[in-house]
Amino acid sequence: VYPDDGDNVETIMQNADTAMYHAKEKGRNTYQFFTSEMNTDAVRRQQIESNLRRALKQGEFILHYQPQVDFACGEIIGAEALVRWQDPNLGLLYPNQFVPVAEECGLIVPIGRWVLTEACRQTQSWLELGLPAVPVSVNVSAIEFRSKGFLDGIAQTLKETGLPANFLELELTESILMHDAEFSTVTLETLKGMGVKLAIDDFGTGYSSLSYLKRFPIDTLKIDQSFVRDITTDANDATIVSAVIGMGINLKQRVIAEGVETQAQLAFLKSRKCEGGQGYLFSHPLAANRFANLLVAGSEFRKVCA
């Protein structure tokens, strides 16, 4: 609106464009008036994007590893690789501070490729050192999953790093899989054929079609931490978690609980026969060398699970 949103044609058009972009983001079929915050937001994103390009070039990403623990024996049965960004000016940044922007601008594809390569390289090097290494789980974004070279990239990375395929698990969310279930079925079958394991991340937060869920070759269901948080106080969450565990057992899928923080949550999950989990009760995500120490130390978590 002239003159509030600009005193010349270019500015008005540019701001209108920004407002349109926001309207599209809100799910389309709506309208938005321009506000100055939209510009600060856009500038901030642009800044993150150009910093991300630099980060890729300069190797500023690192991986932390969070152990997945078998509740019955306390042994480490897996590791989730979680990306962090060591920005020289801003310090250590967490995925929620940059993954959404990386997904928007497509940089998640090369970043994901780096994550995959690094996770495989690291795990293979632990195997070669004779450590009791465990399979590594890597998070995959929708854009990566649908990108052209995705399957080839996985095959090539396994080949280049020498990591046995059964030491790699890919974590996908329900929304990624349900978006185009036919495409997903084919892609998952191909991955399965390669020997890679497959997990559904944040299970329960999406809209899974149960008929697809039984058709997808899924190895692991990861119950979202939002359900685990209140299992001991919220009867609905307790019911949902029990039902998911039961379903997983019947579908012969491994069920892993995310965000296990207390002994009471662990006790509940064990009583419902949940196979394992990860969370601060056991360990925060750790730098590679600290995770390696944990592997060497052996069943550090036996006492916690007893």
Among 18, 124, 139, 220, binds Mg ion (CB under 5 A): 139
- Cβ(62)–Cβ(86) below 8 Å: yes
Residue 155: strand, helix, or coil: helix
For the bound state, the minimum distance from the C-beta of residue 208 to Mg ion, rounded and expressed in Å, comes to: 14
4-63 residues near ligand C2E, rule: CB under 6 A? none
By CB atoms closer than 10 A (0-12, 13-18, 19+), residue 31 is exposed
201-260 residues near ligand C2E, rule: CB under 6 A? 201-202, 225, 258-260
Contact of residue 169 among ligand C2E, Mg ion, none (CB under 5-8 Å per partner type): none
From residue 130, alpha-carbon distances to 121, 136, 283, 292, 296 in Å are 14, 16, 23, 11, 10
Choice between 18 and 259, CB closer to ligand C2E: 259
Q: With CB under 6 A, what is the number of residues at the site for ligand C2E?
A: 24
For the bound state, the minimum distance from the C-beta of residue 84 to ligand C2E, rounded and expressed in Å, comes to: 7
- Cβ(29)–Cβ(39) below 8 Å: no
For the bound state, the minimum distance from the C-beta of residue 22 to ligand C2E, rounded and expressed in Å, comes to: 24
Choice between 34 and 201, CB closer to ligand C2E: 201
From residue 205, alpha-carbon distances to 116, 176, 188, 295 in Å are 25, 12, 20, 32
Among 2, 21, 33, 94, binds ligand C2E (CB under 6 A): 94
177-236 residues near Mg ion, rule: CB under 5 A? 201-202
Q: What angle do CA 230, 303, 129 make, to 5 degrees?
A: 105
Structure-block tokens of residue 153 = 């990239």
Structure-block tokens of residue 54 = 């630099």
**Residue 214 CB contacts under 8 Å (≥ 6 apart), including other chains:** 251
Contact of residue 112 among Mg ion, ligand C2E, none (CB under 5-8 Å per partner type): ligand C2E
Among 55, 99, 101, 288, binds ligand C2E (CB under 6 A): 99
272-291 residues near ligand C2E, rule: CB under 6 A? 278-280, 285
- Rounded to whole angstroms, the Cα distance separating 226 from 224 reads 5
Residue with tokens 């100055």: 36
Q: Does the footprint of ligand C2E cover residue 115 (CB under 6 A)?
A: yes
Among 52, 76, 79, 82, binds ligand C2E (CB under 6 A): 82
98 Rama class: left (phi>0) / alpha (psi -120 to 50) / beta: alpha
156-175 residues near Mg ion, rule: CB under 5 A? 171
For the bound state, the minimum distance from the C-beta of residue 203 to Mg ion, rounded and expressed in Å, comes to: 8
Residues near Mg ion (CB under 5 A): 139, 171, 201-202, 258
- The residues that touch ligand C2E, with contacts defined as CB under 6 A, are 66, 82-83, 94-96, 99, 108, 112, 115, 139, 141, 171, 201-202, 225, 258-261, 278-280, 285
